[in-house]
Amino acid sequence: MNPKDVKNPLDNKPLLMLAPMQGLTNRVLRQWFIDHVAPDMVFTEFMRVQTRSRKRVTKSDLSEVNSHNGQTPLVAQMIGHGEEPLCEAAEGLQLAGAQHLNLNLGCPYGRMLSGATGGELLREPVKLAALLRKLRTQIKVDFSIKCRAGYDDPRQIFELLTIFADCGVDWLILHPRTVEQRYGGAADHQLTAEVAAISPLPLIANGDINDVETGLEILKIPGLSGLMLGRGALADPFLFKRLREGEAQPLTDEERSAQLQSYIADLLPGYLDQFCGERQALMKLKDLLNFIPDPERQRVLGKMKRAQSLEKFSALLRGL
């Protein structure tokens, strides 16, 4: 299965996906997006594949898969190294009900204990190809990759495209930065266009899609199958909806305040339940606030980040 096979409620429209963001796109946040703006696919935070434990995937990660309900596809993203650990993790996730598996080849913080992980795997394409071939024999469901353009050379993606296609990868998400760039500079969507023009795989664009204008411009790229929204979606939770509607008109100040207030207030009950109490829930909400750059509201947002009680946090939220 690939993005072209995912049922899209909008005929002939590109797919819009919620990106995996570690420590942020938890079960409650994903459900908020599903309920309010209906991404076509959502991703788990990356699941660390254990190399020194017989249980390759943690119980909590498996529960992320088997607790997912509804028709919005959930993609389980793995990060790790070693053919045996990754294959056994893939088997376990499929037994838990995963219908979509993704391998992280983009994280720029690339070592897990003694082995290369994430974007670090791009340093050795021959070994990567052998790993992907082995992994593809184990994965019986949809298999995708989220990838940087290269380790230190953005043109490496053209070599990687052939490897991915030959190894049976179903589709690709491209973040057009190198691993060495980390999050510096700007995502090069001119490169995305070059890749889309020749890619044998359906291609999803990711990186620096933070507003409607940028998203709509990238969607003009011929051959592109859709967008993955990460930081932009956290900062503007209705970005999915506005992209679908082609609505580039800026929000009024009142609309922006109302949207942020409802977004954060809606998350509160679920965070209190998932994160076992007020202190942990508050910490998680403060983490989310770090991804809401809003010059008009920075003073209040700063006070919310310093709030020591849920009562104080909620009072400040009402005045946002």
Measured CA to CA in angstroms, residue 81 lies from 72, 106, 114, 236 at distances of: 29, 13, 9, 34
How big is the CA angle at 307 (ends 266 and 319), to the nearest 5 degrees?
A: 55
pLDDT band, very low/low/confident/very high, at 115 (cuts 50, 70, 90)? confident
Q: What is the pLDDT of residue 110?
A: 62
Quick one: pLDDT at residue 50?
85
Q: Note the pLDDT of residue 111.
A: 64
Give the span between the Cα atoms of 75 and 95, in whole angstroms.
14
Q: What percent of the chain shows pLDDT beyond 90?
A: 82
Please give the pLDDT value at position 3. Answer: 59
Q: Which residues, in sequence order, are bridge partners of residue 16?
A: 227
Band (pLDDT 50/70/90 cuts) for residue 9 is very low
pLDDT at 114: 61
The pTM is what? 0.93
The mean pLDDT value of the chain amounts to 92
Please give the Cα distance from 175 to 232 (Å, whole number). Answer: 14
Terminal Cα distance for the chain, rounded: 43
> Cα–Cα–Cα angle for 127, 162, 123, nearest 5°?
35
What six digits make up the tokens of 48? Answer: 């660390």
Is residue 319 very low, low, confident or very high in pLDDT (cuts 50, 70, 90)? very high
247 has pLDDT over 90: no
Please tell me the distance from the alpha carbon of residue 135 to that of residue 103, in angstroms, as a whole number: 10
Q: What is the Cα–Cα distance from 121 to 111, expressed in whole angstroms?
A: 9
| pLDDT: which is higher, 168 or 2 | 168
Q: What is the pLDDT of residues 193-246, one digit of tens each?
A: 999 999 999 999 999 999 999 999 999 999 999 999 999 999 999 999 999 998
**What is the structure's pLDDT at 95?**
94
Q: Which residues of 31-52 are buried (b: 16+ CB within 10 A; e: fewer)?
A: bbbbeebebbbbbbbbbbbbbe
Q: What's the length of the chain?
A: 320
The per-residue pLDDT for range 134-176, each reduced to its tens digit, is: 999 999 999 999 999 999 999 999 999 999 999 999 999 999 9
pLDDT of the residue at 112? 56
In 3D space, the residue among 289, 308, 309 whose CA is nearest the CA of residue 299 turns out to be 289
pLDDT digits (tens, 9 = 90+) for 83-114: 999 999 999 999 999 999 999 999 987 665 56
Give the pLDDT band (50/70/90) at residue 4: low
Mind listing the domains of the chain with CATH numbers?
Answer: 3-245 (3.20.20.70), 253-318 (no CATH)
